[in-house]
């Protein structure tokens, strides 16, 4: 029945304080990675010989349900025999396959005659069956659980209680009838004292458990499983379930063209070698942490926000400088309100000044007050007026041509951005030409 010291599955991390072997390198359970298996045929041959027996059950203080099975049932593994001693029930499963956990797992613990000895190199073999709810109320595994589930003691006891079961009830219900595949690896007992040097066999085929039986176990037992342990350097072997003998291994039909070929007997059969399996190279994880990624994202978001603010500022400034905003406001605001608004008058004056400055910068107009500018104060424009009279006969009076400077009157209006061309200067009155008689 194992140790009944006060330990529990919820504090499995404390087991090594009292049971040092629980922290060794070949502990059970493990995760079975189906992408990293080693094929095993001849060295993984299993044969069960189980007979009906009485059902004796125990529920201990460690939240463990254990069945004691009578002597006479055994397993043959690689020509060695191991006796079935105990069966334990765990909810949910201890093993996982490709990180998938199952609803329940049943361990059949077979022990050798040397089990428990410190000098023993082979303590036995543990056979595991995985269960899942499939919505069915029948099946071999379901029949096995139904035989005793309603007779599990409510409170822990320190002895095995005999339970009446049907004559057809047997541990053989846990063994697949077809030669199904299984996994095999070196392991240990899944609870204290965690003794190693066990071979652990896990059948690949999953058995059915009804919803009612699962809920009954879940409510009365709760959870009694050990977390997955490190695989370390252990190999996981895989067998398809096909029985292979030594004779089958080396018996092959051959055809030879050598007429002198003779057969002879050898003293020993060559030991088959296990093919090497190349393990996948696991590259180190060099990705950035989530915290670093968040920091970088926040930094770039801040840069984007600053850029958008600067863009908005300069775009708004551009609209005001080009007076697009003022024009839109003038179009939207009623004209009588615009006339009464001092702010609009200031914008209008500013608009005239800025428009004139812009034209000066572009070379389209000379600023008022610049020397040579038309209409500039103190700079009269010379206008030449020529009056010519047609020729007359000799002796007749001739008209002399006189040129007079006529001051030009340049009347210009203040320039604005969209001002029309300046009006032409008003012509000055021209004095009449004098007629002077030529001397005879």
Q: Tell me the C-alpha distance between 440 and 438, whole Å.
A: 6
374 found inside a domain? no
For residues 111 and 141, membership in a common domain is answered with: yes
Low-confidence ranges of the chain (pLDDT < 70): 1-4, 116, 118, 243-286, 338-341, 343-345, 347-440
Q: Tell me the C-alpha distance between 188 and 26, whole Å.
A: 7
pLDDT at 262: 44
For residues 211 and 337, membership in a common domain is answered with: no
For residues 169 and 241, membership in a common domain is answered with: yes
pTM of this prediction? 0.56
427 found inside a domain? no
For residues 330 and 228, membership in a common domain is answered with: no
348 found inside a domain? yes
Torsion of CA 65, 67, 68, 69, to 10 degrees: -160
pLDDT at 72: 85
For residues 199 and 300, membership in a common domain is answered with: no
pLDDT at 416: 45
Q: Which residues contact 207 (CB under 8 A, 6 or more apart)?
A: 129, 130, 131, 132, 139, 140, 141, 142, 174
pLDDT at 317: 87
267 found inside a domain? no
pLDDT at 247: 52
Structural domain count, the chain: 3
Strand 161-163 with 100-101, pairing: unpaired
Q: Give strand ranges (E) for 189-329.
A: 196-203, 207-209, 237-239
For residues 301 and 336, membership in a common domain is answered with: no
Token digits for 89?
């029930």
Instruction: Report CA 246 to chain centroid distance, whole Å.
Output: 50
Q: Tell whether the torsion through CA atoms of 367, 373, 374 and 375 is positive or negative.
A: positive
For residues 114 and 82, membership in a common domain is answered with: yes
Q: Tell me the C-alpha distance between 220 and 214, whole Å.
A: 10
Q: Tell me the C-alpha distance between 217 and 215, whole Å.
A: 5
406 found inside a domain? no
For residues 113 and 209, membership in a common domain is answered with: yes
For residues 304 and 178, membership in a common domain is answered with: no
For residues 327 and 299, membership in a common domain is answered with: no
Q: Are 406 and 368 in contact (CB under 8 A)?
A: no
Residue 348 DSSP one-character state: H
**CA separation (Å) from 70 to 50, 86, 88, 314?**
10, 9, 15, 92
Q: Are 275 and 76 in contact (CB under 8 A)?
A: no
Q: Residue 246, SS3?
A: helix
**CA separation (Å) from 254 to 30, 60, 251, 257, 400?**
44, 61, 9, 10, 146
pLDDT at 430: 53
Query: What is the domain range of residue 338?
Result: 322-369
Q: 124: closest CA among 71, 65, 77? A: 77
For residues 163 and 237, membership in a common domain is answered with: yes
411 found inside a domain? no
pLDDT at 282: 61
The H or E element containing residue 183 is strand 182-188
pLDDT at 241: 78
241 found inside a domain? yes
177 found inside a domain? yes
Chosen domain end from 248, 273, 296 = 248
Phi, psi dihedral angles at 299 (to 5 degrees):
-65, -45
Q: Tell me the C-alpha distance between 385 and 432, whole Å.
A: 11
Instruction: Report CA 337 to chain centroid distance, whole Å.
Output: 61
For residues 176 and 155, membership in a common domain is answered with: yes
Token pair 């092959």 is at which residue? 252
**CA separation (Å) from 121 to 2, 86, 113, 186, 196?**
19, 20, 11, 12, 9
Q: Give strand ranges (E) for 313-386.
A: 382-385
Phi, psi dihedral angles at 307 (to 5 degrees):
-60, -45
Q: Tell me the C-alpha distance between 296 and 359, whole Å.
A: 49
**Cα atoms in the 13 Å half-sphere on the side-chain side of 415:** 18
């Amino acid at each position: 029945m194992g140790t009944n010291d006060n330990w529990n599955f919820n504090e499995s991390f404390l087991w090594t304080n009292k049971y040092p072997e629980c922290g060794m390198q070949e502990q059970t359970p493990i995760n079975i990675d189906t992408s990293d298996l080693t094929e095993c045929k001849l060295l993984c041959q299993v044969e069960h010989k189980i007979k009906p027996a009485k059902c004796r059950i125990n529920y201990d203080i460690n939240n463990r349900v254990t069945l004691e099975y009578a002597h006479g049932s055994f397993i043959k593994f690689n020509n060695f025999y191991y006796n079935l001693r105990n069966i334990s029930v765990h909810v949910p499963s201890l093993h996982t396959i490709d990180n998938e956990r199952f609803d329940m797992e049943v361990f059949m613990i077979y022990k050798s005659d040397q089990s428990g000895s410190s000098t023993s190199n082979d303590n036995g073999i543990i056979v595991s069956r995985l269960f899942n709810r499939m919505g069915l109320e029948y099946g071999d595994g379901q029949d096995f659980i139904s035989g005793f589930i309603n007779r599990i003691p409510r409170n822990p006891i320190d002895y095995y209680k005999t339970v009446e079961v049907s004559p057809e009830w047997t541990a053989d219900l846990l063994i697949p009838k077809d030669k199904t595949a299984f996994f095999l690896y070196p392991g240990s007992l899944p609870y204290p004292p965690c003794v190693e040097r066990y071979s652990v066999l896990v059948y690949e085929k999953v058995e059915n458990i009804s919803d009612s039986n699962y809920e009954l176990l879940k409510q009365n037992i709760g959870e009694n499983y050990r977390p997955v342990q490190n695989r370390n350097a252990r190999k996981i072997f895989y067998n398809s379930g096909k029985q292979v003998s030594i004779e089958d291994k080396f018996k092959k039909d051959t055809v030879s063209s050598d007429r002198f070929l003779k057969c002879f007997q050898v003293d020993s059969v060559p030991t088959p070698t296990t093919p090497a399996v190349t393990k996948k190279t696991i590259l180190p994880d060099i990705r950035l942490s989530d915290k670093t990624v968040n920091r970088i994202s926040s930094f770039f978001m801040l840069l984007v926000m600053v850029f958008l603010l600067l863009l908005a500022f300069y775009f708004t400034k551009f609209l005001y400088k080009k007076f697009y905003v003022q024009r839109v406001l003038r179009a939207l605001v009623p004209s009588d309100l615009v006339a009464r608004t001092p702010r609009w008058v200031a914008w209008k004056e500013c608009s005239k000044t800025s428009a004139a400055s812009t034209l000066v910068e572009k070379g389209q107009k000379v600023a008022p007050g610049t020397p040579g500018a038309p209409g500039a104060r103190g700079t009269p424009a010379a206008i030449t007026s020529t009056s010519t009279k047609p020729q007359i006969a000799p002796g007749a009076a001739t008209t002399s041509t006189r040129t007079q400077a006529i001051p030009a009157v340049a009347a210009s209006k203040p320039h604005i951005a969209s001002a029309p061309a300046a009006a032409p200067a008003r012509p000055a009155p021209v004095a009449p030409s004098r007629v002077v008689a030529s001397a005879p």
